[in-house]
Structure 1
Amino acid sequence: MDYRAIKENNMFLLTSPDGNIYPGGSNGLGLYINDTRFLSSLELFINGEAPILIDSDGSSNYVSRMILTNPHQEQDGSIELWRESVEISREQFIYEEVFYEKIILKNYSPQPIDFTFSLKAGADFKDMFLIRGFQSGNIGRISGIDSEQDYVKFSYEGADQLERSTKLQWSKAADADAFDQQLYHFPISLKPQEQEELIIKTSVEIKGQLKGLPLDYEKAFTLLSQSHESWNNQLPTIHSDSEALNNSFRQGLKDLRVLLTNLGHGQFPVAGLPWFGVPFGRDSLIAAWQLLPYYPESARGTLYTLADQQGTKEDEWRDEQPGKIMHEIRYGELANTNQVPFTPYFGTIDATPLFLVLLCEYVKWTGDLETFEQLQPNVERALEWIDKFGDRDSDGFVEYFQESSKGIANQGWKDSADSIVHRDGHYAEPPIALSEVQGYVYHAKTGLAEIYDRNNQMKKADSLRNEADELKVKFENAFWMEDEQFYAVALDQDKAQVGSITSNPGHTLISGITSSVRSRAVVDKLLSEPMFSGYGIRTMAATEKAYNPMSYHDGSVWPHDNSIALLGMSKLGFSKEVGITADALLKSASQFEHYRLPELFCGYDEKRGRLIEYPVACSPQAWAAGTSLTIVQSLLGIFPNVLQGEIHLNPALPKGVEYLKIERLPVGKGYLSIKVVTQENGVEVDVLENTTGLNIVFTQPVESK
């Protein structure tokens, strides 16, 4: 990873590995809050020269640490500063929406040294859409730069009439004689082994509201560390003999902790850094689903956050309809001036059924019917949207069509313009009904029917079951491709099958919409040579005309895409295939820093050699981090249903993993701890703790071909 990313609540920092923010370029380095870059330049110098990076450590997720040193410096044949005389250690973190940095300068020369340490800073207040190069538009202006020896403040007057400012304060006075508005000089004199410390606190203000109050550095760091320690202490723990499984799981939890945000309705995961540090319907819902077994509070917070933004009217500009769950919300200058429709934007076909799916899974896992009852009005409106606006031609399928002139054309999770393509290479025309979306709708209606039953609303439950049964029959008839023994990715505007072999039907396995025979065929196709790279399931088969291993959606490998298929395989009992898929994903995680799975990577075959990274993948990214957690759930084969009083178990360990133990997994009102050990003819399960009051039911694996 060629950057360091840290985040706390609504603020995040993106630097180069040396801790600097270099202005310009397309990598988006900077300090952000509310989709605005409040710090666009931060560089260090010794005697006017850039230091040399020695080490960069971002493994803790909430603090970045770097070690640098000086280059060799001579002037007119005289040594000014011998190489590696000065150690520069940097420590950076964010707490309560204030960015803190501690810089320690230490003399490792045997002689006393004098040098000038300099800091360069700047703020451009650029909107995220402009940084990403997706939009142009009317913007405001820098309205002032106020500098003193111990601070600098940059001010901006936005086109949205919001005044924004960034203030950097430092603990040592800068040299006023060598002082200008963006470069600040600090004369340093150090004896051998002596060190000097400089602390910088960066705070931001929007329309007179200070986003965070700077604290004492050590106090802020202690409070931040304690919050992460508290997070870790409340989570289940796993132990196995697989380094990749242990480390990827722990990294996934750490990444999701960093991506959690609270906008007043409980914690939920934003989509990912650097580009999507915002509420994001589909991504937040899927990531919360992945995190559900370990931290169910996040699912609850996600549901309430998205319910608060549920659509209320028909608005073509924002692709909004009553009852629809939003796609994405932005808070920057372009959104505030209505130059982009993301206030919020609703152009997603899957967020609404996924909202219902997450609620169903949350209730099954926790038994929290009170949350369902509180959200029941939102549920009713979402169901009405599915049947009325989602099914625009009343054919029984949910399909999408872009209304907004600045919206998104393809509105499923594969949302790039070239992602839904026929086998002959021409793009499908909307309205488009995606295979996985029909699965989400079926999953939602059958799950809700069970909850309505429990709440003695039998008429509503029966109606939902009947609707689901009708959808299942229609889906099998319309989407199944007999010659390919697989489902079409979609139906186009003419109801013709979009027949390219893709990963999308893998999402239907968890829903129950597919028959057992056809589920077997789907699993076989997903793990066939054209679809399976050895590092995971590709988004498109290598035999397709549109296949491109370097593409965003037409041949790459997305960990979260694999994770949903993996959950389905596990629930249906495809134990061998779970092991193969999990092994591939763990093999992939082993090739990334800290075992952190990224948003996606290229789909080249494992036989070609090492895994090839996708150049602009988000990392950390919520549903990629969640994949590591889903691997563990799938290997345990654990699917509780508190409403039925049961925990279903069907464990399967991949090649090279001899045992897996999980402790204090929250289910219902208690905890479950189990250990799974590989035996000659399968696995042995030892229930170490069960305070849930639920019966454990062992399901039989499906026999492999």
Structure 2
Amino acid sequence: MDYRVIKENDLFLLTDSKGNIPADHPYGLGLYTKDTRFLSRMDLRINGIEPILLSSDAAENYMAKIVLTNAHMELEGELVLWRESIEIERTRFIYDDVLYESVQMTNYYPKPVQFEMSIHMDVDFADMFAVRGFQTAELGKRTGQTLGARSITYHYAGADEVKRATVINWDKPHSSASEDGDVAFQVALAHGESYKVTFRIQPHIGEMEPRQLLEPDDAVVRLQRSYDEWQQHITAVQTDHGQLQQLVERGLKDLKVLLTNLGHGSFPVAGLPWFGVPFGRDSLIAALQMLPFNPAVAKGTLRTMAAKQGQAVDAWRDEQPGKIMHEIRFGEMAGTNQVPFTPYYGTIDATPLFLIVMAEYVRWSGDTALALELLPNIERALQWIDEYGDRDGDLFVEYHQESSKGIANQGWKDSGDSIVHRNGEYAVTPIALSEVQGYVYQAKMGIAELYQEVGFKDRAERLRSEAQALKAKFDEAFWMEEHRFYAIALDENKRQVGTITSNPGHLLLSGMLDEDRADAVADCLLSPQMFSGYGIRTMGAGEAGYNPMSYHDGSIWPHDNSMIILGLSKYGRQAQANTVIAGLIDAADHFEYERLPELFCGYDKARGRAVPYPVACSPQAWAAGTPLVFVQSLLGLFADSLHKRIQLSPTLLDGMNVLQVDNIAIGGGRLSVRVERADGEIRWSVPQNTTGFEIVTA
């Protein structure tokens, strides 16, 4: 990863590995909030020369530390500054929508030194879509800057009639600054002496209100306290499997930094750097992965999605009543209706996933009050599935792009080449995806169980009947007997799109498959065609569309694997689930911070190492949630608060001897499970169970 990113709530900073934001960088570096770049340049210099990088670390996500030193400097044969005399440590973090950047310089030269430390800053207030080159934009204009004794404020009048500003201040008086954004400090240091200056950079949207900003020490204490509180409320994992331990800890850190709150509770945004916004599908799947670790995140996610649920038929936004959004953006181009992401609803799977997460959240938490609170949203989502999702009344939910600036393929594989026939032709919409039919089945069965619990028995029975009718018709239309597998989709003419892909693997989680079909799906997914050794590919090797370097046609997505892993566990295929888990754990060793990225290339493990995909998001929410699914799968853990039962079927990976999982929130209580290998046998116990629920084994 040749960039560094930190985030807190809705503000994130993207820089190069030296901590700089060079002008016109092709990757769009900068300080962003609400899809607007509030800092487009930040270059640190010593005597006008860029320092040399020593180390660069953003492992904590919320704080980055970068260590640099000076180059050798002479002028007309006279020594100005000996090389590596000055250690320059840049420390930055974000708290309460303010970026804090401290620069500490320490003299290691044996004599006193003098030099100038300068930072050049600038702001373009560019919309995220314009930065990424996706749209030709009609934007507002800069309206000048205000220079203070220790501050610069940049002003902007948007085409959306919203005023924006960036306020930059610093805490040292011995400085000079210009309206061009140059801030310089004349530094004189004795041997061993240090000099530190701290910048505070604050974006403003709308009329500027004066704020009393925290001192850096106070801000970092509060920030760290928020992480300590997070740690106290999540499930704790301890294992002697070092790689799994690292992955779980990294996943939890990544998910914490990706949490955002739009006023309805915390929920995970999709990923950094470019998708730090609410995504229906991504946020819901990440919340589903987190249920055994922090069910409250699902609650915030559900409330957020309900608040943005579709209200009208609007082709520009691919919106229909009851539909759950795909993505929302907040920048100038959204505000002037140049893009339809306000929000945009071009997703076929977010609506059934909303219902699945609702049903599963209640199964874990017992919180039927939330279901009753969001009952109108549940009913509108069910109505959308039947009236708008099923366009032609054939029981299958299909997608078709209406918006001129929308997305053509509207499942999770949303690239333009992802739904391809075995002869290489791209499928034409309306398209019914296999996994979406499974989501609808799981959603209706789950909501039926919930409705039964709260007394809506007739409605529950009708939903079960609809789900069973879908199951029967799905098996008839999607099953490919010659391949012993399901088609990825049906095209506009109801022809099977027969390419072998990972999509039908999600059917295992739905519980929709008979045992023999579940066996066939599992066998195909673990075959050499689909399983690379590092994970299950999105498309089988040898298919016409297969490309191991592609985004969706042969790459490996951890979250896709996680859905399959959980489904394998649900069907009792734990040995196969463990094979996939072990492959992904091995792959993580090849990525920075032992982190699973959004995706990686689908090359066979025999090549010797996992191959990165060049522009994968990292951290990314549903990739971060994947190691949490590993833990749930190894425990064979499925909660059922409605019937006061907890299913457990614990096992261990090869080479793993201990797995202790504490503080699992189920119902109104907590559960702890310990799994050990002793004398070649795996034994497990329940040291704590304050739920009052019965423990059952599969």
TM-score calculated relative to the size of structure 1: 0.98
Contact 1:203–1:212 (CA<8 Å) still a contact in 2?
Answer: no
CA displacement at 1:25 relative to structure 2:
2.6
Q: Which amino acid aligns with 1:524?
A: D
List runs of 5+ in structure 2 lacking aligned partners.
none
Query: Which residue is equivalent to 1:198?
Result: 197
CA displacement at 1:656 relative to structure 2:
2.0
Q: Which amino acid aligns with 1:415?
A: D
CA displacement at 1:235 relative to structure 2:
1.5
Counterpart Cα distance in 2 of 1:266 and 1:616: 30
What is the correspondence of 1:533-572 to structure 2 with a 5 Å cutoff?
533-572=532-571
Contact 1:334–1:340 (CA<8 Å) still a contact in 2?
Answer: yes
CA displacement at 1:38 relative to structure 2:
0.3
Q: For 1:397-450, what per-residue CA distance to the aligned partner results, in whole angstroms no more than 9, with x for missing partners?
A: 000000001000000000000000000000000000000000000000001111
Specify the SS of the correspondent of 1:417.
coil
Query: Which residue is equivalent to 1:672?
Result: 671
Counterpart Cα distance in 1 of 2:592 and 2:210: 32
CA displacement at 1:145 relative to structure 2:
2.1
Query: Which residue is equivalent to 2:168?
Result: 168
Contact 1:269–1:302 (CA<8 Å) still a contact in 2?
Answer: yes
Contact 1:147–1:181 (CA<8 Å) still a contact in 2?
Answer: no
Contact 2:65–2:90 (CA<8 Å) still a contact in 1?
Answer: yes
Specify the SS of the correspondent of 1:611.
coil
Query: Which residue is equivalent to 2:124?
Result: 124
Counterpart Cα distance in 2 of 1:616 and 1:134: 16
Contact 2:152–2:179 (CA<8 Å) still a contact in 1?
Answer: no
Counterpart Cα distance in 2 of 1:336 and 1:436: 34
CA displacement at 1:147 relative to structure 2:
2.3
1:577 pairs with 2:576: yes
Counterpart Cα distance in 2 of 1:40 and 1:633: 42
1:662 pairs with 2:678: no
Specify the SS of the correspondent of 1:381.
helix
Query: Which residue is equivalent to 1:36?
Result: 36
Q: For 1:658-704, what per-residue CA distance to the aligned partner results, in whole angstroms no more than 9, with x for missing partners?
A: 221111111111111111123567521111111111111111xxxxx
Query: Which residue is equivalent to 1:475?
Result: 474
CA displacement at 1:204 relative to structure 2:
1.3
1:465 pairs with 2:464: yes
Query: Which residue is equivalent to 2:265?
Result: 266
Runs of 4+ in 1 over 4 A off after TM superposition: 209-213, 679-682
Contact 1:665–1:671 (CA<8 Å) still a contact in 2?
Answer: yes
Specify the SS of the correspondent of 1:354.
helix
Contact 1:434–1:489 (CA<8 Å) still a contact in 2?
Answer: yes
Specify the SS of the correspondent of 2:309.
coil
RMSD (Å) for aligned C-alpha atoms: 1.2
Query: Which residue is equivalent to 2:316?
Result: 317
Counterpart Cα distance in 1 of 2:194 and 2:644: 63
What is the correspondence of 1:468-617 to structure 2 with a 5 Å cutoff?
468-617=467-616
Q: For 1:81-120, what per-residue CA distance to the aligned partner results, in whole angstroms no more than 9, with x for missing partners?
A: 0111101111100000000011111111110000011011
Counterpart Cα distance in 2 of 1:40 and 1:448: 47
Q: Which amino acid aligns with 1:59?
A: A
Q: Aligned pair in 2 of structure 1 residues 194, 592: CA closer, same or farther (>3 Å)?
A: same
Query: Which residue is equivalent to 2:327?
Result: 328
Counterpart Cα distance in 1 of 2:280 and 2:208: 28
Query: Which residue is equivalent to 1:3?
Result: 3
Contact 1:174–1:184 (CA<8 Å) still a contact in 2?
Answer: no
Counterpart Cα distance in 1 of 2:30 and 2:334: 20
What is the correspondence of 1:158-557 to structure 2 with a 5 Å cutoff?
158-173=158-173, 175-176=175-176, 179=178, 181-210=180-209, 213-557=212-556
Q: For 1:596-626, what per-residue CA distance to the aligned partner results, in whole angstroms no more than 9, with x for missing partners?
A: 1111011111101211101110011000000
Specify the SS of the correspondent of 2:512.
coil
Counterpart Cα distance in 2 of 1:314 and 1:301: 26
Contact 1:93–1:101 (CA<8 Å) still a contact in 2?
Answer: yes
CA displacement at 1:149 relative to structure 2:
4.1
Specify the SS of the correspondent of 1:509.
helix
CA displacement at 1:15 relative to structure 2:
1.3
Specify the SS of the correspondent of 1:355.
helix
Contact 2:147–2:178 (CA<8 Å) still a contact in 1?
Answer: no
Instruction: Give the percent of matched residue pairs that are identical in Structure 1 and Structure 2.
Output: 54
Aligned residues: 698
Query: Which residue is equivalent to 2:134?
Result: 134
Counterpart Cα distance in 1 of 2:211 and 2:614: 34
Contact 1:67–1:87 (CA<8 Å) still a contact in 2?
Answer: yes
Counterpart Cα distance in 1 of 2:120 and 2:592: 30
Contact 1:363–1:369 (CA<8 Å) still a contact in 2?
Answer: yes
Specify the SS of the correspondent of 1:79.
strand
1:21 pairs with 2:21: yes
TM-score calculated relative to the size of structure 2: 0.99
Q: Which amino acid aligns with 1:688?
A: P
What is the correspondence of 1:82-101 to structure 2 with a 5 Å cutoff?
82-101=82-101
Q: Aligned pair in 2 of structure 1 residues 442, 210: CA closer, same or farther (>3 Å)?
A: farther
Residues 572-581 or 674-683, more deviating: 674-683
Q: For 1:483-519, what per-residue CA distance to the aligned partner results, in whole angstroms no more than 9, with x for missing partners?
A: 0000000000000000000000011101011111111
Q: Which amino acid aligns with 2:5?
A: A
Specify the SS of the correspondent of 1:60.
coil
Counterpart Cα distance in 1 of 2:43 and 2:374: 49
Counterpart Cα distance in 1 of 2:545 and 2:349: 24
Counterpart Cα distance in 2 of 1:232 and 1:211: 33
Counterpart Cα distance in 2 of 1:180 and 1:380: 56
Contact 2:485–2:521 (CA<8 Å) still a contact in 1?
Answer: yes
Q: For 1:336-357, what per-residue CA distance to the aligned partner results, in whole angstroms no more than 9, with x for missing partners?
A: 0000000000000000000000
Q: For 1:162-185, what per-residue CA distance to the aligned partner results, in whole angstroms no more than 9, with x for missing partners?
A: 111101101113544x84522221
Specify the SS of the correspondent of 1:607.
helix
Residues 551-560 or 229-238, more deviating: 229-238
1:46 pairs with 2:28: no
Counterpart Cα distance in 2 of 1:615 and 1:536: 18
CA displacement at 1:212 relative to structure 2:
6.8
Specify the SS of the correspondent of 2:625.
helix
Q: Which amino acid aligns with 1:455?
A: V
Counterpart Cα distance in 2 of 1:349 and 1:399: 7
Q: Aligned pair in 2 of structure 1 residues 659, 635: CA closer, same or farther (>3 Å)?
A: same
Query: Which residue is equivalent to 1:625?
Result: 624
Q: Which amino acid aligns with 2:696?
A: V
Q: Which amino acid aligns with 2:546?
A: Y
Q: For 1:185-214, what per-residue CA distance to the aligned partner results, in whole angstroms no more than 9, with x for missing partners?
A: 110000000111101000111111459752
Residues 151-160 or 598-607, more deviating: 151-160
Contact 1:531–1:540 (CA<8 Å) still a contact in 2?
Answer: yes
Counterpart Cα distance in 2 of 1:226 and 1:347: 39
CA displacement at 1:533 relative to structure 2:
0.9
Q: Aligned pair in 2 of structure 1 residues 265, 66: CA closer, same or farther (>3 Å)?
A: same
Counterpart Cα distance in 2 of 1:477 and 1:213: 65
Q: For 1:111-136, what per-residue CA distance to the aligned partner results, in whole angstroms no more than 9, with x for missing partners?
A: 00000110110111111111111111
Query: Which residue is equivalent to 1:641?
Result: 640
CA displacement at 1:292 relative to structure 2:
1.2
Query: Which residue is equivalent to 1:113?
Result: 113
Counterpart Cα distance in 2 of 1:210 and 1:361: 43
Specify the SS of the correspondent of 2:183.
strand
Query: Which residue is equivalent to 1:702?
Result: none
Q: Which amino acid aligns with 1:479?
A: F
Contact 1:443–1:511 (CA<8 Å) still a contact in 2?
Answer: yes
Q: For 1:530-565, what per-residue CA distance to the aligned partner results, in whole angstroms no more than 9, with x for missing partners?
A: 111111000000110110011000000000000000
Contact 2:166–2:201 (CA<8 Å) still a contact in 1?
Answer: yes
Q: Aligned pair in 2 of structure 1 residues 493, 29: CA closer, same or farther (>3 Å)?
A: same
